[in-house]
């Protein structure tokens, strides 16, 4: 009897599943798909800890006509969208095929492209005040929140966090899309967090706007922490406010830690204010004003701002395995004393910025178009800063077009690093350098946005594995990072993409690395014939395709012995004084340990 009771409790204590179908026509008890709730808000009202709410595809509003109402998450209650309406298991749902929308467009009258709110739109589509991580939102599209009823005061909380407002809340949000949300007078177009610690996993943020402040998509302030994993930010915009902090997609102005893992930021922008003094926020993708931040395996591409086209940091920042490319610090008129158009990739006034195995390329700015450090020190390891475009023609080909002078470089490739300077009559000092290069890194197809290393790149195996942090098991592609050479030590490449170690004679067809071209190499080629990808042993012309061209190369060199070519030429600089080098390494390692969770 006792066992039976325990068994019953195990099932009952797991909670109920409540069903919601907006096309039901009437409201049932919500305990089956045959008698679902018609309105999601009704299911949330009766839900208790341990319950799940399954929501059929369709569009749901927090209220019929009350723009101050929200879908309020609850601790212990999980909301799941993306159901067809007949599933027996949660795993059977498909939120991409069956979209479930939580919309703030109460009247259904908004202009879609570009999104313009008409009439009353919800101030917060979703609210998560005071909840913990057991409050789950999974598989929804949150859209068209826009500031509450007409005439809402600019001091009201309704004017920011129009998609989700987290006051002291720490929910878990997965597989959600936040799009076309607008904060009309404040920061955080889609999400605003105040003294909370939410987690976002595999979410996308698209076309959200903060019209007076920072964080076009997400803003975190106060005693907050924020974790985003495998999230994408596309086409979000903020307009400069009095704080000048910016963050086209993301503003972190909190005391905790911002953790970005595997996230991408593409074509976001921070623009000058729409009215009043022409103030401008930096950080086209992200701005870190306080606390500390780390970005691991992230990409920042095609973003723009008046300064810090990709990232702005006024607080400690760690970048690991990151690609920062095609961002721009745009020339705009600003109020006197504001920085403008420097740091196309990164602009930092942080006391410490660390970068491990990053590639920073093809960014644009007036000066230090790759990374501009106006305060503190940037300690960069195993990284590439090359091909960034300065608008100042006097800096062409010089390191000042790529970086500023507040740098400690270890095993890095920086364009123009050994060219004479200064160029402007100032006393600008050179960066500190340890075992660095200035040779062309020979990206595979940079004009096409492919910054993998070609097989002849001088950056292959020239990083320092002993300086690699624990988070470098894989590269930005997810491929193994630390590579053991045949009968040799573990090696690591410079930059965010690792290139597998290969035979020094691959050009003539030695695919198996045995020192000659023969049957073993032909087996490699025939086995993978027609395959596409990087690091294919028999891709002899390095075009990511094994085809007849590779076969012709191999056959024309059949039987030839291996005579390894010398490494590519280019500027190099040996390790300097070992005592000073070790001292800097110790300080960098200690700082990284403090900042990286």
CA–CA dist 189, 213 (Å, integer): 10
Q: Which tens digits make up the pLDDT trace of 349-365?
A: 999 999 999 999 999 99
Average pLDDT score, the chain: 84
In the structure, what pLDDT confidence band is assigned to residue 570 with cuts at 50, 70 and 90?
very low
In the structure, what pLDDT confidence band is assigned to residue 574 with cuts at 50, 70 and 90?
very low
Is the previous residue joined to 422 through a cis bond, with omega within 30 degrees of 0?
yes
All domains in the chain, ordered by first residue: 506-556 (1.10.1330.10)
The partner residues of 386 in beta bridges, in order of sequence, read: 361
Q: Which tens digits make up the pLDDT trace of 222-241?
A: 999 999 999 999 999 998 75
C-alpha triplet 354, 358, 362: angle, nearest 5°: 120
- The region of weakest confidence among 143-147, 332-336, 433-437, 580-584 is 580-584
In the structure, what pLDDT confidence band is assigned to residue 565 with cuts at 50, 70 and 90?
very low
DSSP 466: G
**In the prediction, which pLDDT does 545 show?**
86
* Torsion, CA 110, CA 111, CA 115, CA 119, rounded to 10: -30
When pLDDT is averaged across residues 277-286 and rounded to a whole number, the result is 75
**In the prediction, which pLDDT does 404 show?**
86
In the structure, what pLDDT confidence band is assigned to residue 505 with cuts at 50, 70 and 90?
low
- Does residue 60 register a pLDDT over 80? yes
SS3 sequence, 119-134? CCECCCCEECCCCCCC
- Does residue 483 register a pLDDT over 70? no
C-alpha triplet 115, 121, 125: angle, nearest 5°: 100
Q: For the CA atoms of the chain, what is the radius of gyration? A: 27
- The region of weakest confidence among 72-81, 97-106, 583-592 is 583-592
- The region of weakest confidence among 87-91, 347-351, 589-593 is 589-593
- Does residue 366 register a pLDDT over 90? no
- Does residue 193 register a pLDDT over 90? yes
Q: Which tens digits make up the pLDDT trace of 516-545?
A: 777 777 787 788 888 887 767 777 777 888
**In the prediction, which pLDDT does 515 show?**
67
CA–CA dist 242, 185 (Å, integer): 12
In the structure, what pLDDT confidence band is assigned to residue 185 with cuts at 50, 70 and 90?
confident
Instruction: Say if residues 295 and 319 touch (Cβ distance below 8 Å).
Output: yes
Specify the residue for token string 């024309």. Answer: 556
What share of the chain in percent tops pLDDT 70? 80
The partner residues of 436 in beta bridges, in order of sequence, read: 573
**In the prediction, which pLDDT does 5 show?**
38
CA–CA dist 383, 377 (Å, integer): 16
Is the previous residue joined to 241 through a cis bond, with omega within 30 degrees of 0?
no
Residue 589, CA distances (Å) to 356, 377, 383, 433 in order: 11, 14, 16, 17
> Parallel, antiparallel, or unpaired: how do β-strands 164-167 and 191-194 relate?
parallel
């Amino acid at each position: 009897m006792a066992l039976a009771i325990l068994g019953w409790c195990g099932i009952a204590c797991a909670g109920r599943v409540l069903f919601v179908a907006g096309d039901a026509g009437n409201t049932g008890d919500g305990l089956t798909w045959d008698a679902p709730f018609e309105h999601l808000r009704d299911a949330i009202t009766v839900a208790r800890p341990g319950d799940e709410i399954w929501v059929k595809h369709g569009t749901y509003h927090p209220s019929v006509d009350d723009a101050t109402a929200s879908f309020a998450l609850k601790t212990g209650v999980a909301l799941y969208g993306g159901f067809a309406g007949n599933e027996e298991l949660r795993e059977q749902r498909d939120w991409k095929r069956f979209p479930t929308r939580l919309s703030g467009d109460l009247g259904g009258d908004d202009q879609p492209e570009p999104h313009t709110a008409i009439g009353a739109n919800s101030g917060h589509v979703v609210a998560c005040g005071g909840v913990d991580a057991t409050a789950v939102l999974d598989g929804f599209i949150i859209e068209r929140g826009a500031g509450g009823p007409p005439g809402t005061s600019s001091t009201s909380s309704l004017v920011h966090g129009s998609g989700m407002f987290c006051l002291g809340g720490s929910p878990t949000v997965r597989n959600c899309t936040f799009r076309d949300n607008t904060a009309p007078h404040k920061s955080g177009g889609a999400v605003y967090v105040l003294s909370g610690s939410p987690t976002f996993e595999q979410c996308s943020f698209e076309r959200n706007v903060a019209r007076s402040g920072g964080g076009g998509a997400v803003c975190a302030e106060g005693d907050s922490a924020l974790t985003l994993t495998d999230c994408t930010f596309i086409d979000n915009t903020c307009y400069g406010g009095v704080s000048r902090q910016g963050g086209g997609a993301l503003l972190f102005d909190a005391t905790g830690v911002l953790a970005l893992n595997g996230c991408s930021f593409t074509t976001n922008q921070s623009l000058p204010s729409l009215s009043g003094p022409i103030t401008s926020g930096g950080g086209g993708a992200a701005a870190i004003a306080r606390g500390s931040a780390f970005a691991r395996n992230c990409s920042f591409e095609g973003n723009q701002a008046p300064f810090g086209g990709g990232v702005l940091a006024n607080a400690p920042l760690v970048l690991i395995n990151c690609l920062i490319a095609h961002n721009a610090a745009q020339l705009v008129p600003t109020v006197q004393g504001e920085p403008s158009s420097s740091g196309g990739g990164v602009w930092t006034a942080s006391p410490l910025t660390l970068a491990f195995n990053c590639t920073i390329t093809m960014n644009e700015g007036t000066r230090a178009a790759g990374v501009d450090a106006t305060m503190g020190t940037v300690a960069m390891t195993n990284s590439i800063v090359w091909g960034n475009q300065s608008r100042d023609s006097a800096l062409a080909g010089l390191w000042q077009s790529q970086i500023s002078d507040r740098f400690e470089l270890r095993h890095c490739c920086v364009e123009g690093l050994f060219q004479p300077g200064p160029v402007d009559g100032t006393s600008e000092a050179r960066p500190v350098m340890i075992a660095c290069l200035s040779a062309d890194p020979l990206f595979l197809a940079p004009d096409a946005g492919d910054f993998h290393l070609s097989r002849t790149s001088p950056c292959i195996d020239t990083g320092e594995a002993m300086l690699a942090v624990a988070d470098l098991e894989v590269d930005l592609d997810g491929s193994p990072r630390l590579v053991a050479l045949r009968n040799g030590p573990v090696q690591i490449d410079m930059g965010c993409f690792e290139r597998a170690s290969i035979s020094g004679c691959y050009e003539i067809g030695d695919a198996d690395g045995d020192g000659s071209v023969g049957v073993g190499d032909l087996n490699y080629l025939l086995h993978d014939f027609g395959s596409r990808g990087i690091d294919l042993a028999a891709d002899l012309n390095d075009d990511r395709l094994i085809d007849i061209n590779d076969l012709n190369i191999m056959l024309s060199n059949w039987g030839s012995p291996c005579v390894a070519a010398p490494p590519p030429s280019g500027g190099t600089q040996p390790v300097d004084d070992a005592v000073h080098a070790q001292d800097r390494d110790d300080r960098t390692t200690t700082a990284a340990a403090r900042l990286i969770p």
